[in-house]
Structure 1
């Protein structure tokens, strides 16, 4: 385990355990008891009949109980402990709610087992009936613990720990405790809990509306986009539940679109959990993966027949979201990223400075975001070529560069700045509301006397 100078919150960890352990058994058994008195459905694929029963995998299956208890006591700070406790509690509440509302059962007959393994199966059967299936609470808790432990383990223990987690994941099938559908739904629940309670300690659902949503001038547009994503989510969910089988995988993009809908309605770009250097949280990546893939494909399709980048003036470039290869080949020293829905490329050179100013697609960035972008562009020019990007290089990045043109004195009016940009990048798209915001920002900047002269 890692060494931490400050005292670990042992007493608080004990309180969390004394609360979570009884709650786990009481709520889990309650859902099991209800299902035992109801007619439950089964969701099982034909190929699952070929999954072997492997008695010894009851050992890794049971080991998650030990990991659960230890996890609370290795927390280095109260913030980390409270985050973990809330994740475990939320997983339990959501899973049990699903068990009660949509009870499912396990349909295979479990073989007789003797000896040590038989004793462990018998102990498990004392409280775990063949219900409480999807989402697998076992898998949801595993995901939470899998993310939690590595930061506290010695490098020598990392690989064995990952192997144990893989065995635990497999064991839910080879012990005949769960059908396959329970595994991905359980994983989705686990990532949802991590997303809801990020390491920052600020709940995703309690986060303040981000600055790009504080301006009510585009409220109708936000609501339209939110509704569109919500309808898309509903259609996919109906298709998945109606046809079932492999169509059930549509539940993943359904959840993804539902979260995006919430971001446009209330949460803002904070829902993407993107850092200042452009890296999105693992939870956001997993939950939003279908949406992120579609956004990437859309970016490439719209820009396949046009120039990917254009130099505007004085080493300031505009373009679509780049790959690490794009940045390396063109020698950019700084990237100003105006998107929320893209994560910075992996293996980015240490010589490249990445700055993320998160803004939702199809909405005009706030005045504060545009001013921040202009300031960063001006400061970054001293290091070398600067690339300002959004999904296509047509709108959010264009607004950032126009703001810089105005604040740096390269253009005296909004119309002049727009005209200059369009001579180099004819495909830029600017709404009337965006131009009004640019003019307002320029007037305010001039009044404050903060114009740059580059």
Structure 2
């Protein structure tokens, strides 16, 4: 039996397993909800404006096709395992929600005048349940489908458009309320966070972090809707925070390290306003949780630290030496005294994100040359925001090149001199790939 046959059997097993669990959970929870005399509904005022579109039943019904096809699209065993875990998690958590908070759809469907479109609606009427609403399995599954189909080199645009239509159809076929859509999206993003793909591969680190931002984005969007209807008209503030998180997640996916700061270490005013909550959070953590406020000297003249404030800088540069600054922070603006430095370099990396291999190699070589050419009293300062990881990684690699030691030997020395260094396994694997 060759590898291809084994893979097909594994895919079929994954599909059958998820199908059986789905059938058991869905039908049992529907029966359970039907046993209550009164099952409530949760409807937002805005839903009164959602039109009924009979033709949207077409993308709605294709969810079952995607459910089957997605298992045969995955290419590796790891992809299949992650897909199966995500599907089972969604089914089981949804089933718990259906039992603890049973809801039913409450808007009557108009009559279907099209004889062809009437067939799938009749099928839904016979086979589907008016319960099992929140979270929407259609929505949660659509997110998982896209996490697999997005790897297609061609046709991705049409697939995402179709999946978006599938998501919209949950509302326009009068099958789900808005609460079902938002809870389904939140559940899907939670699933991505709990079951990440290649969590120990530095090349996929940005996608893992992006999913956290997307999760918060959906939560804040849901809160905006709830607050707008039940509390105050200022729910749009949460919508702004939601949009901001979506944008940041997108930047992480694309590894756009300069989404905030320019090459001079400055954040433009409009960006400060849009990203204000994000900047406040980072400033708070920098202000109260950073440890290495005084730069640590790894080797003579080479220092790593968190972002300095004015008093830190004064303490560091009592002897008024020339400071060559390498600012790796992508989040907080550099302090004025260092920005005006002729030897200031802004080379941002996203926090707890991916280190681009080429950028890292070029940066390490640049600092190495700067180190060799510096005057005896010059200081090279490598800093990020908190000083735990990004500055440490670059400092370690520069130190390795200067001393011509192995990575393991350098790590032992660095850890003895900088107790705040944080090097996760995926970063160690990344540093072994850096060719310097």
Q: How does 1:183-332 map to 2 (within 5 A)?
A: 183-200=181-198, 294-299=277-282, 316-317=324-325, 319=327, 321-322=329-330, 332=345
Whole-Å Cα distance in 1 between the matches of residues 343 and 4 of structure 2?
Answer: 47
SS in 2 for 1:181: helix
The Cα of 1:75 is off from its aligned counterpart by 1.4
CA displacement at 1:437 relative to structure 2: 7.2
**CA, structure 1 residues 324+118, in 2 after alignment: closer, same or farther (shift >3 Å)?**
farther
Aligned to 2:158: 160
Residue 162 of structure 1: CA displacement?
A: 1.4
- Which residue in the other structure is 1:135 paired with? 135
- CA separation of 1:185 and 1:382: change in aligned 2, threshold 3 A: same
Residue 182 of structure 1 is aligned with which of 180, 201, 204? 180
Cα deviation, residue 34, structure 1:
1.2
1:301-450 alignment to 2 at 5 Å?
316-317=324-325, 319=327, 321-322=329-330, 332=345, 339-340=351-352, 343=353, 352-353=359-360, 381-382=367-368, 388-391=382-385, 438=417
RMSD of Structure 2 on Structure 1 (CA): 5.3
Taking structure 1 as the reference length, the TM-score comes to: 0.55
In the aligned structure 1, how far is the partner of 2:153 from the partner of 2:389? 43
Q: How far apart are residue 248 of structure 1 and its match? A: 12
Number of residue pairs aligned between Structure 1 and Structure 2 = 317
Q: Aligned pair 1:103/2:97, yes or no?
A: no
Stretches of structure 2 lacking an aligned partner (at least 5 in a row): 201-219, 243-251, 258-274, 288-306, 372-379, 403-414, 422-436
CA distances 1:63-101 after superposition (whole Å, capped 9, x unpaired):
111111011011111111111111111111111111111
Correspondence 1:55 to 2:54: yes
Q: Distance in 2 between matches of 1:249 and 1:99?
A: 31
Give the alignment partner of residue 7 of structure 2, picking from 6, 9, 13. Answer: 9
Deviation per residue, 1:181-226 (Å, 9 max, x gap)? 2112111111111222221277xxxxxxxxxxxxxxxxxxxxxxxx
Give the unaligned 5+ runs of structure 1: 203-232, 255-273, 280-291, 356-375, 410-435, 443-454
1:370 corresponds to: none
1:76 aligns with 2:62: no
Is the alpha carbon distance of 1:65 and 1:381 closer, same or farther for their aligned partners in structure 2, counting shifts above 3 Å? same
- Aligned equivalents of 1:81 and 1:319: distance in 2? 40
Separation (CA, whole Å) in 1 of partners of 2:89 and 2:35 = 26
Give, in whole Å, the separation in 2 of the partners of 1:199 and 1:299.
27
Aligned residue for 2:325, secondary structure, equals: strand
After superposition, the Cα gap between the structure-2 partners of 1:248 and 1:67, relative to the gap in structure 1 and judged at 3 Å, is farther
- Please tell me whether the aligned partners of residues 136 and 182 of structure 1 are also in contact (alpha carbons under 8 angstroms): yes
Q: Relative to 1, partners in 2 of residues 1:8 and 1:384: Cα closer, same or farther, differing over 3 Å?
A: farther
Separation in 2 of the partners of 1:67 and 1:41? 31
Residue in 2 aligned with 1:364? Answer: none
1:217 corresponds in structure 2 to none
TM-score under structure 2 normalisation?
Answer: 0.57
For 1:399 and 1:95, the matched residues in 2 are separated by 42
User: In structure 2, how many angstroms separate the alpha carbons of the residues matched to 1:401 and 1:74?
Assistant: 39
Q: Shift of residue 298 of structure 1?
A: 3.2
1:53/1:8 CA distance change after superposition, 3 Å: farther
Distance 1:54 1:401, change over 3 A: closer
1:113-157: CA deviations, max 9, x gaps? 241211101112223222112111111100011111021x342x1
SS of the residue corresponding to residue 317 of structure 1 reads strand
Take 1:249 and 1:95, find their aligned partners in 2: how far apart are those partners?
A: 29
Return closer, same or farther for 1:184/1:314 CA change in 2, 3 Å cut-off: farther
Rounded to whole Å, the distance in 1 between the matches of 2:394 and 2:199 is 34
8 A contact 1:61–1:168 mirrored in 2 = yes
Report the CA distance shift for 1:401/1:305 in structure 2 as closer, same or farther (over 3 A). Answer: closer
Kindly provide the CA deviation profile for residues 21-77 of structure 1, in whole angstroms up to 9, marking residues without a partner as x.
122122111111111222322221112111000001000001111111011011111
- In structure 2, the residue matched to 1:25 is 23
Cα shift at 1:322: 2.7
Query: 1:297, CA displacement in angstroms?
Result: 2.9
Distance 1:330 1:299, change over 3 A: farther
* Cα distance change, pair 244–161 in 1 and its aligned pair in 2 (3 A): farther
